[in-house]
Amino acid sequence: MTRFLTLSFVILLLSLLAAEAVAQPGARADSAIVVKTRPDAFVRLAAVDSTIRQDMRYYGARNFVGRPIPGYEAPQCWLTRPAAEALSRVQDDLRPFGLTLLVFDCFRPQRAVDHFVRWARDIRDTATKRDYYPTVPKGALFGEGYIASRSGHSRGSTVDLTIIPVESRARASGGGCEETLPLPMGTGYDCFHPRSHTAHADMAPQVRANRLLLKTAMERRGFRNYPKEWWHFTLRGEPFPETFFDVPVE
């Protein structure tokens, strides 16, 4: 009960502060410009804010493909500097309440996106179905908006993340839909299921409060949420709205 009241207070505080934020229209990439060199505007998140925790799922096998993903040569979060600095401001907002951000994915090379597309088209490979897409036929992942040939992550200003208590040290077991995070969000990361929709109707009150906390904190600092994934946010006014990069994560 104490934690619920604390989180409710944080939500109220951030909601009041959110009125100070200036909303900007989000840019959409209508053309596919792929660049194979990393721009100077890209930075390691750890160099901007080393207090933000990282659990880079595509560097290892704990993801919906079930193996390390091409292009991830190190478990590092890279972002455009504006996105990294905005994320650091979110962290500053959360720190006084004993909370911290935990990122799962940041910049995603186009070669990794291409690998996801090949995986999704191989309908025989369903090894991870039970954990990550239990009710969605693999062939429908494109139509449902879970897999696409272009990803905002490849533009460098999109991040997948959650909030956890600072004192949390244990690594959550498993992955996907049944993963239980330190701060319950109703699903784990990369659960391809309607329960992952940010405003899904059937949520426990605590889960709803936790998702609202994350969304409010991120929106206050200039990010917008993808409604089908509670963990997915893109910086408004991103510096490369129509450019996709294909350089390894190092």
Q: What does the pLDDT read at residue 23?
A: 33
2-8+34-242 domain in CATH 3.30.1380.10? Answer: yes
Host H or E run for residue 9: helix 2-18
Q: Is 48 helix (H, G, I), strand (E, B) or coil?
A: helix
Look up 229 and say whether it is catalytic: yes
Q: What does the pLDDT read at residue 75?
A: 98
Q: What does the pLDDT read at residue 173?
A: 63
Q: What does the pLDDT read at residue 129?
A: 97
Q: What is the pLDDT along the chain (250 residues), one digit of tens a residue?
A: 445 445 544 554 555 444 343 333 333 444 679 999 999 999 999 999 999 999 999 999 999 999 999 999 999 999 999 999 999 999 999 999 999 999 999 999 999 999 999 999 999 999 999 999 999 999 999 998 899 999 999 999 999 999 999 998 756 567 899 999 999 999 999 999 999 999 999 999 999 999 999 999 999 999 999 999 999 999 999 999 999 999 999 9
Q: What does the pLDDT read at residue 136?
A: 93
Distance of CA 247 to the CA centre of its chain: 19
For the residues of 53-119, what is the DSSP string, one character each?
EE--TTTSS-SSSSSPPTTB-SS--EEEHHHHHHHHHHHHHHGGGTEEEEEEE----HHHHHHHHHH
Q: What does the pLDDT read at residue 166?
A: 96
For the residues of 180-209, what is the DSSP string, one character each?
--SS--SS-TT--SGGGSTT-SS--HHHHH
Q: Is 243 helix (H, G, I), strand (E, B) or coil?
A: strand
Active-site pick, 144, 167, 219, 229: 229
Q: What does the pLDDT read at residue 122?
A: 96
Q: What does the pLDDT read at residue 175?
A: 83
Host H or E run for residue 2: helix 2-18
Q: What does the pLDDT read at residue 50?
A: 98
Which two three-digit tokens encode residue 41? Answer: 């505007």
Q: What does the pLDDT read at residue 38?
A: 95
Which among 197, 76, 69, 212 has a CA at the least distance from the CA of 144?
197
Contact (Cβ atoms closer than 8 angstroms) between residue 87 and residue 52: yes
